[in-house]
Structure 1
Amino acid sequence: MRVIIVGGTGFIGRELCVALLAHGHDVVVTSRCPDRVERLFGGRVGAAAWDGRDPESFARLLDEATQPQVVVNLVGENIANGYWTAAKKRRILDSRVVPGRALARAVAIADGPVAAFVQASAVGYYGYDASADDRPVDENSPKGRGFLADVCEAWEGSVAAVAECGVRLALARTGVVLGPGGGVLERFVPPFRMYLGGPLGSGRQWFPWIHAADEVAALAFLAEREDARGAFNLVSPGVVTMGDFCAGIGRVLGRPSWLGVPGFALRLVLGDMAREVVLASHRAVPARLLEMGFVFGYPDLRVALGNIFND
């Protein structure tokens, strides 16, 4: 099967390419700089130029195929990189919605057959206080409140039209991805190594994590399973609190988890991002993945962190 990945040069996209190649698929990665794709993958995947805006050029890429193909859209600006100014918020939204709309339009006008479309999203859809009362959040839970909830709604909505074209649409609402070489651990680990680590905020907020290997496996699962439609929470079934997460990092590094940062200080320094990202509480559960028989390789935080830091 041919799989076209938009956003395939990032932390998750790179590993997804490797996994799909191992499954025997032909993989094409779009980029504004196709040469970077060539450097990253050494010719193992196809590289196609796309600016993230032009539906006609992406439709031509789809038209190269005569057999059903899958599109995986992972593109979007990092939400945790930089202070949330008005301009940053606009980039967070536009970097998701503009490509999504262009891709949906491309699918509609292309002659090349598209069997499925896997769209990235996030558990932020459920709102920053989704589990303030400790209730679990599954895929049937309603949209919550906050900037990121609105972004996720628009992000998912930008590609909703592909389903109207008869294309199977799967929405991957991802939690916090843990793995080597990128993601949140790059920010959490240095203070612990200097004996300055600890929970952010009260430590009681729910922390919806997933091992990078399980994230990649779940995305491949959604691409390959013909009955995978609608929203899926890509989070570990072993959900923990922020305090548990930080204690786990300290344990695997042989460091204490003692120097927490109070919520008021985070709100003072980070503004809205503190409330919506660092202090948000999502007790998200992967109900639909489990119902469909997906098997997590790392459902336990202790085992997951041991794998990441010891391998």
Structure 2
Amino acid sequence: MSGYDSAEGLTVSRLLRGPSAPRARLRELLEDGSGPVLAPGAYDGLSARLVEQAGFDVVYMTGFGTTASLIGRPDVGLLSGAEMVDNARRIVAAVDLPVIADADTGYGNAINVVRTVQAYEQAGVAGIHLEDQVTPKKCGHMSGKAVIPAGEMAGKIRAAVAARRDPDLVLIARTDAAAVEGLDAAIARAGAYAEAGADLLFVEAPTSEDDIARVARVLAGVAPLVFNWAEGGRTPPLPLQRIGELGFALVLYPIGTLLAATAGIRALLATLKADGTPAAALPGLPAFGEFTDLIGLPEIGDLEQRFGS
């Protein structure tokens, strides 16, 4: 988004702006009815800015990518709630878009969920998703998951609803039960979580198009649905048109940006290792000036002119 306010003809720094109602904007997008809302994954402020500059309306803070980028480890519950919230805060500060954040299991019981919701809300996110895995959790497309009782998770959702101060904060209930108890049990859990107050339902990792269609058919009218287009995961990579036909309201693309960054870094390092310099790789990279513009150096110059002596 531009850093300029055309009505006044003055530069308005992202660093000086007040809240732009991203939560209300997310709800507007979800209720628009024109098709699924697309939310590419971001794992840091830079990747979030790239999502924004590509023209998307929503950023998704991936827990998988957050774990990989912060500590170089897999998504198996190694990060604390405080580390996840800190990353969410940085991503929110980097963009003007609504940010939906992975909040894992809520980092404990229903009482912990109260604090988790309030911390994410204070960080400025527009929505979070909570899942019904046993702590420590695992990525939804890994094997060896376990889930808590459905009633306990419903209590967590009720706690999340009670904890939010802004009613526009979007609460997404995710169930990982399909891989543990079967698809019918997962669908039943999702319905119970809707009754507990979840705004959207997220049945993780169905493994066939028939299963995806069954989720959409049975839960139609219960609450809007989330489709996780997990790059390389267990869920079939359906075309967007088919996802829209099935009625999903939100599509997450959690790790494509992370995988692309990994591939790019690997290629650069291979060139550096082989040649002793990165010169051969530079034509495929952003120029230095282009990159500094991308991360907001002109905005800093405007602030220096405005406030400098």
| TM-score between both structures, scaled by the size of structure 1 | 0.35
| TM-score between both structures, scaled by the size of structure 2 | 0.35
Bigger radius of gyration among the two: 2
Name whichever structure is richer in helix by fraction.
2
